[in-house]
A and B are shown apart, each in its own frame.
Chain A
């Protein structure tokens, strides 16, 4: 057992759920040490990290962490790993998280594993590869294991602690100050759960004909997130940030409802590991039905509103 570093995933100080999953996983393998990079560390953040068993919290704030892309965060995290002699570093497998993991692995001369869907006490990881066709068990056999973990890899389990706090004075090199962030436009808030973290995802494809209204209404009735197929995104019907599939997000919710999506390999790669899959499609031959636990052959424009009304009635 040793120190397992957890990079806190936060938006302006608000700790995301993925961090509580990482802390839960880290407790299996050793003592979780949280690393909070950037500004916004406050009582609320402290409270979350303490509730999920962080034994120590490193807080590093430097203007470079927000002015420049990725590289300063990787340098700060490497310094934290060295400071506590970490045996492993866990980060969220987001776009940025994977880039941080990549740079950290080079800095520490460590092996890196990405997109882990589970991490065991001996730090053996589970990954789903080749569009969900295979499950792989992997390990970093020596050195500091750098592991990027997918959202929903663990159910967060509280374990209250009183972590020691330490301000980490980090030095950011000139090399890390070369990709300057000159503007930032936050994604418009939808009020829905984050796609990769949601327990329920309702996705629309070509069959929507561009009208995502019925998809959004059903997602809202079920308290789920909205996703889209590549065909729908390429047609300009829904933003790319919501694309599920090989070139978009990979989701693994409790329930995945595909409406007007045929189920090409490109899409299956992003949702095949969902617990329950439900499909609505006009084409009875659509490959999505072969993997669905329940399917309805028909027009989503009449079926989805009926489901929404029925769900609302049952919830009322």
Chain B
């Protein structure tokens, strides 16, 4: 079984994230980046399938990313956790790509890997957080997709998923090959072990350009984006209001505040 896990390198959410003022794209160089936390759950889920070992032919896990130079760090982290090999789609023409172009390029990359049984992704990136790329990938690859999966069972030919929807929890079945995006409820991602960190140094990472994938550079990037950011405004910091220490009447004072603001 061949599994591709999509991993994204994102600006650290605890840092002061910002935009490039020249073109309103996410600043990916001025802020430290790391593997999007939500993608760790997808990596872990792939490794759990390896650990379960019920595919007699063995399970191969490929961590794939698209992004500028630093994005290979996301692949590296996945390799340290236990993925077998990596793919980094790297091309200057990709700068400013929208979700559609991203999905199109990743679809081409999955196609180039070939004979992939399962594509695993996180539920969202922690930077753009649109949650649209997996479903778009399903359209481009013409594969079934199950999103927001909180429990996954994989057999040699199909997946059974518990999808945690807004109004109901659904059990969904799909034949392989398929795309599954997982939530942060599905598992507890492992930390890379020292052994894993050392082993990762020897694991192969391929770097592919758009030409390698047969994708026209004119179809991606900022100029080809079908949605445009017109303006970016830093939200004013919220100012701190009154903070009181409870001396037995804290609840009453809070209720008075609520009443003054007409919530009661």
Which residues in A have some Cβ–Cβ distance to B below 8 Å?
11, 69-71, 94-96, 98-99, 101-103, 105-107, 109-115, 124, 128-143, 175, 178-187, 200, 222, 240-241, 246-247, 254-255, 265-266, 269, 272, 276-278, 280, 284, 289-299, 302-311, 314-315
Contacts and interface: CB of A to CB of B under 8 A. Distances in A.
Contacts of A101: 132
Contacts of A280: 250, 254
Contact of A311 (B132, B172, B255): B255
A254 B261 CA distance: 10
A297 B230 contact: no
Interface in B88-138: 98-100, 103, 123-124, 126-127, 129-136, 138
Contacts of B246: 296-299, 302-303
A94 B257 CA distance: 33
A255 B100 contact: no
Nearest to A105: B100
Interface of B: 13-14, 17-19, 38, 98-100, 103, 123-124, 126-127, 129-136, 138-140, 142-148, 150, 160, 163-175, 178, 183-185, 225-235, 238, 240-246, 249-259, 261, 263-264
Contacts of A302: 246, 250-251
B183 A240 contact: yes
A128 B17 CA distance: 13
A105 B132 contact: yes
Contact of A133 (B144, B145, B235, B258): B235
A128 B233 CA distance: 10
B264 A103 contact: no
A183 B171 contact: yes
Contacts of A135: 232-233, 235
Contacts of A180: 172-174
Given A111-B225, A179-B173, 20 more contacts: A96-B165, A103-B136, A113-B227, A130-B13, A137-B230, A141-B228, A179-B174, A186-B168, A255-B258, A265-B14, A284-B245, A289-B240, A292-B240, A295-B241, A296-B244, A296-B246, A296-B250, A302-B246, A303-B246, A304-B251
A314 B178 CA distance: 56
B135 A99 contact: yes
Contacts of B229: 136-138
B147 A99 contact: yes
Contact of B147 (A95, A106, A129, A136): A95
Among A102, A111, A304, the most chain B Cβ lie within 10 Å of the Cβ of: A102
A134 B19 contact: yes
B251 A305 contact: yes
A292 B242 CA distance: 8
Nearest to A141: B228
A247 B38 CA distance: 8
Contacts of A186: 167-168
A289 B243 contact: yes
Contacts of B126: 246
11 contacts: A11-B167, A69-B145, A114-B131, A131-B17, A138-B230, A178-B143, A181-B172, A185-B169, A241-B166, A266-B13, A291-B240
B106 to A, nearest CB: 13
B254 A132 contact: no
B21 to A, nearest CB: 12
Contacts of A182: 160, 171-173
A240 B151 CA distance: 13
Contact of B264 (A107, A128, A136, A314): A314
A98 B132 contact: yes
A102 B251 contact: no
A158 to B, nearest CB: 23
